[in-house]
C-alpha cells in the first residue's frame, strides 16, 4: 500500500480538475472555475494526498438529515488497488453516519460495483424507485 494522507479540506480546483480528467466522465475543456463551483456545493468531502499530489477524492451532497448522495469517488488510476478508495469511502460513510444519515446512495462507475459491494453497498432492485434524467439528443 502506498503512503497517503486524508484531509477534510476541499482540494484546489485545478487539482480536482486534473483528477477528474482521469475519469473521462466529462469534457476536458471544462476550466478550473467550473470545478470550483462544483466543489462549493459539497456537504462533506475527503481528499487523499501522496507527496503533496491529490491522488483521490470523494464528496457527498446532503440535506444533512435524511439523505446523502456520494457524487464522486475518484482515485488516480496508478493508485487504485492500494487502499486509497477504501479509506476515502470509509471516511465519507463515517461522516454520514455521524450526522445520523442512514440513506447513503451513489452512482457506480461501470465495472466498479464489486468494490462498493465489499463496502456495504447493494444494487437497487430493478423495480425500486429511482430514475436518472437523460436529455434527448
The most distant pair of C-alpha atoms in the chain lies apart, rounded to whole Å, by: 46
Catalytic residue among 20, 35, 49, 116: 116
- The verdict on whether 49 is a catalytic residue reads no
- Residue 47: closest CA among 100, 18, 84, 81: 84
Residue 61 is placed in which grid cell? 451532497
Residue 132 is placed in which grid cell? 436518472
Question: Catalytic residue numbers?
Answer: 116
Amino acid at each position: 500500500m502506498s503512503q497517503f494522507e486524508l484531509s477534510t479540506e476541499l482540494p484546489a480546483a485545478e487539482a480536482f480538475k486534473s483528477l477528474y480528467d482521469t475519469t473521462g466522465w466529462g469534457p476536458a475543456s471544462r476550466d478550473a472555475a467550473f470545478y470550483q463551483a462544483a466543489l462549493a456545493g459539497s456537504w462533506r468531502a475527503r481528499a487523499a494526498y501522496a507527496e503533496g499530489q491529490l491522488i483521490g477524492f470523494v464528496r457527498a451532497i446532503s440535506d444533512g438529515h435524511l439523505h446523502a448522495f456520494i457524487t464522486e469517488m475518484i482515485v488516480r488510476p496508478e493508485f487504485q488497488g492500494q487502499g486509497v478508495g477504501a479509506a476515502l469511502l470509509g471516511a465519507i460513510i463515517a461522516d454520514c453516519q455521524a450526522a445520523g444519515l442512514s440513506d447513503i446512495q451513489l452512482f457506480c462507475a461501470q465495472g466498479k460495483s464489486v468494490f462498493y459491494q465489499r463496502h456495504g453497498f447493494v444494487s437497487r432492485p430493478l423495480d425500486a424507485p429511482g430514475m436518472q434524467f437523460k436529455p434527448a439528443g
